Amino acid sequence: MELDSLYQEVILDHYKHPQHKGLNPVYTAQVSHVNTSCGDEITLNLNVENNVITSITWDGQGCSISQASVSMLSDLVTDKTLEQADAIVKSFSELMASKGTAAGDPEVLEDAVVFAGVSKFPGRVKCALLGWMAFKDAAIQSQGESK
Amino acid sequence: MSFSVAEVRKDFPIFERTIRDGKRLVYLDSGATAQKPWVVINAESDFYSKHNAAVHRGAHQLAEEATDAYEGAREIVAKFIGGQESEVIFTKSATESINLVAYAMGNALSGNRFALSASDSIVVTEMEHHANLIPWQQLAARTGAQLKWFNVTQDSRLDLSNIDQVITANTKVVAVTHQSNVLGTINPLEAIVKRAHEVGAVVVLDACQSVPHMSVNVVELDVDFLAFSGHKAVGPTGVGVLWGKAELLDELPPFLTGGSMIENVTMTTATWAPVPQKFEAGVPNMAQAVGLGAACKYLSELGMDAVREHEIALTGYALEKMSSIDGIRIVGPLENVARGATVSFTLAEIHPHDIGQYVDSQGVAVRTGHHCAWPLARAMNVPATTRASFYLYNDERDVDALVEALLGAQKYFGRF
C-alpha cells in the first residue's frame, strides 16, 4: 500500500517514543515555529558549545510525521559541529524537495532516509520540515552565541 | 418532489471519476468548497465562448449580452436570499465582502453613522472563521475601537448570558457567523439582532456556511449586511456576495475606487455611482458571477428546504454512527438541533493530519487542522480536528465509508 511508504515503522516508532522531547533549560537559542496550515507547534532549545551541539531538546504537538522527524533530527545532530549539522539539514531538505525521486544518503541521514516516502506526499513535506526549519533557525542564532 | 441524492449526483461530473486507485470518491469537504454541477460549469463556459465582453460599457451587442447575463445573475442571487437587486454586490470572495464592509467603515468620516472612534466597540464571537475576525481586529486597531466577543460554551453554543454587557450603547458593529464552519452550530440570530438594533449597531452576518445549505432570507433575519461565497454554494471560485440594506449601502463610503464606480470625475474630485456600482470598481468577475447565478438557480430548483431536510437527516445518521466509534470526541453540538451538516472530531491520540491521510487512502476526502478558526480550536481545547462536512450530494453510504475508514485508521496507527 502506498500509505506504507509514508508511515514507515521507524517513523511510527519515533512518534510513539519521541527522543529529546522535554525542554532543557540550558540553551544558546530557543525558537518556536508553527505550521500555519494545521496549527502544529514546536519549541526547540539548542545548546552549542565551542561550535558543537551539546544539547537539542524540543516540545510541541503535531502529527506523526512532524514529531518523528524532529525526534530523528535531534538524534542526528547531537554532538555534531554546526557545519556538520548544516550539511545534514541541506541533505534532508534536498530529499524533501525530491518529489519521490531521491532515496537520500544513508551516510549522512542515517535512519532519516525513511522520510524519502514523505516527499511523494506534497501535503506532508511541511510536516516533515517543521522541526528542521526550527533547528536551522536556532543554529543560525547560536552561531554568534556559542563560545 | 422528493430529494434524490442519486439524481443530484448525476449533475456533478466529478463523481464520475475515482480516487486513489479506483476508489469511489467520498467527498466530505464541502465546507471548504463544494463540487460543481454541469449547469454551473456550462454557464461559465458559455459566457466565455458566446457572450464575453466587459459589462456596463461598450456600444456593441456582446457588451449588451454580457451585461444582461451579469445583471441577470444579480437578480437571481437577490431573489435567492430574499433581497433587492440593488442591494447585491459582487465581490471576489466572502472574505473580500467582509473586508469591504470593514475597510469602508474605516473610511467613514466623523458624522457618518459608520465612523468609529476609541469610545466605540466592535463585537465578534469566539467561533468566527478568521475571515470574520481579522478584518474586525484590524479595524479596531486602526480606529482605536474596542474589540469584544461572545465566548463559546463547552457544548459548542454561543454564551449569550452576558449579551447586554457585550453589546452596549457603544457598540457599532456585531459581526457573527450564521453557522460555524467547525462546530456546525447554527447561531440564534434573533436575540443578537434584537439587542444590536436596540443599541443602534449593525449586524454583519457571515453566511458562508448557511446560504448553501438552508433557506436564508435577509428580510426575515433582519441582519444589516450578509456575506457568502459562490464556491461553497456549488458556484465558481472567484465570486462572492455582499448584501446590505439599501439605506446602509448608500451611507457606507466606498472601499475600492476606480473605474465603473464613479458618477463624475475631475482631476481632483470624484462622486460615486449609485449602489451597487459604487462598490464594484473595475471590470468584475463576470463569468463567475454568471456561474453563481446558475448555481443559485440550480439550488432554488432543488429547493433549499429540501436540501436542509436532507442534511438534517444525514447529520442525524452521521452523529449516531460516528458516536459509536471508540475514542471519538465530536467537537460540536451532539444533539441534532440548530446545527448543520458539519461534523468535526478528534479520534483518541491519532493526529488529525494522520487521520486525514489514512482516510484519503480509502477515497474519503476530509479537512484537517484548525479550519481557519484558531481561537475556536483553543477555546475547545483541541490543537486541531478532522472535519467531515456533508452536502446535497452525500448520502448514508458516504457516512458508512467515513466510519469504516476511521476504524481502519485506528487499526493502522494502533499497530505499535
Complex ipTM: 0.90
Q: Which residues of B touch A2 (CB under 8 A)?
A: 20-21, 361
Cα–Cα distance, B77 to B263 (Å, whole number): 25
Residue among B353, B361, B416 minimizing CB distance to A12: B416
Range of the domain at B351: 5-30+303-413
For residue A36, pLDDT beyond 90: no
Identify whether residues B90 and B199 lie together within a single domain.
yes
Instruction: Give the pLDDT confidence score for residue B12 in this predicted structure.
Output: 98
Whether residue B312 sits in one domain with residue B180? no
CATH of the domain at B328: 3.90.1150.10
Residue B109: phi and psi, rounded to 5, are -90, 160
Per-residue pLDDT tens digits for B201-256: 999 999 999 999 999 999 999 999 999 999 999 999 999 999 999 999 999 999 99
Q: B300-303 long-range CB contacts below 8 Å, 24 or more apart?
A: B300/B76, B300/B79, B300/B80, B302/B3, B302/B8, B302/B392, B303/B1, B303/B3
- The alpha helices in B82-217, defined as continuous H runs, are 94-106, 134-143, 163-166, 189-198
Residue B290 DSSP class: H
Q: Say what the pTM is.
A: 0.95
Alpha helix ranges (H) inside B199-285: 218-221, 246-251
For residues B212 and B344, membership in a common domain is answered with no
Burial of B24 from C-beta contacts in 10 A (0-12 / 13-18 / 19+) = middle
Final residue belonging to a domain, choices B281, B301, B321: B301
Walk me through the domains of chain A, giving residue ranges and CATH numbers: 2-145 (3.90.1010.10)
- Residue B133 pLDDT more than 90? yes
Q: Among B372, B384, B403, B406, which one carries the catalytic annotation? A: B372
The answer to whether residues B294 and B335 belong to one domain is no
Do residue B354 and residue A40 have CB atoms under 8 angstroms apart? no
Residue of B nearest to A41 (CA): B383
Domain CATH number, residue B208: 3.40.640.10
d(CA B274, CA B84): 14
Residues 11-50 of B with CB under 8 A from A: 20-21
Same domain, B21 and B62: no
Same-domain pairing of B177 and B318: no
pLDDT for res B130: 97
- Are B401 and A58 in contact, with CB atoms under 8 Å apart? no
Q: What is the pLDDT of residues A84-119, one digit of tens each?
A: 999 999 999 999 999 989 999 999 999 999 999 999
Say whether B354 and A64 touch across the interface (CB within 8 A): yes
How far away is chain A from the Cα of B38, in angstroms, using its nearest Cα?
29
For residue A33, give the H/E element and its range: strand A29-35
Q: Are residues B405 and B257 in the same domain?
A: no
Q: Is the pLDDT of residue B412 over 60?
A: yes
* Closest partner CB to A63 (pick from B20, B21, B353): B353
What's the pLDDT at A2? 79
Residues B49, B21, single domain; the answer is: no
Q: Is the pLDDT of residue B415 over 70?
A: no
Helices A122-145 and B352-361, interaxial angle, to 10°? 150
Final residue of a structural domain among B301, B322, B356: B301
B369: nearest CB among A38, A41, A61: A38
pLDDT at B237: 98
What is the distance between the alpha carbons of residues B104 and B252, in angstroms, rounded to a whole number? 6
B384 contact residues in A (CB cutoff 8 A): 38-40
Edge-first strand order for the sheet with B146-150 is B88-91, B240-244, B225-229, B202-206, B171-177, B121-125, B146-150
Chain B segment 57-116 residues within 8 A of A by beta carbon are none
Q: Are residues B340 and B263 in the same domain?
A: no
Residue in B354, B368, B383 nearest the CB of A61: B383
With an 8 Å Cβ cutoff, are A62 and B351 in contact? yes
Q: Are B24 and B395 in contact (CB under 8 A)?
A: no
Q: Which residue has the cell 449609485?
A: B274
Residue-level pLDDT at A145: 67
pLDDT of residue A144: 72
Distance from first CA to last CA of chain A, Å, rounded? 49
Residues 325-384 of chain B with CB under 8 A from chain A are 351-354, 357-358, 361, 368-370, 374, 377, 383-384
Q: How far apart are CA B326 and CA B315, in angstroms?
A: 19
Instruction: For chain A, give the percent of residues with pLDDT over 70.
Output: 97
Query: Is the peptide bond between B276 and the residue preceding it cis, with omega within 30 degrees of 0?
Result: yes
The pLDDT confidence band at residue A146, using thresholds 50, 70 and 90, is low
Average pLDDT, stretch B328-357? 96
Strand pairing category for B240-244 and B262-265: unpaired
Active site residue B372: yes
Tell me how long chain A is: 147
Q: Is B309 on the interface with A (CB under 8 A)?
A: no
Residues B175 and B226 in one domain: yes
**Does the pLDDT of residue B352 top 90, yes or no?**
yes
Query: What's the mean pLDDT when you consider all of chain B?
Result: 97
Residues B324 and B209 in one domain: no
Q: Which residue has the cell 441577470?
A: B72
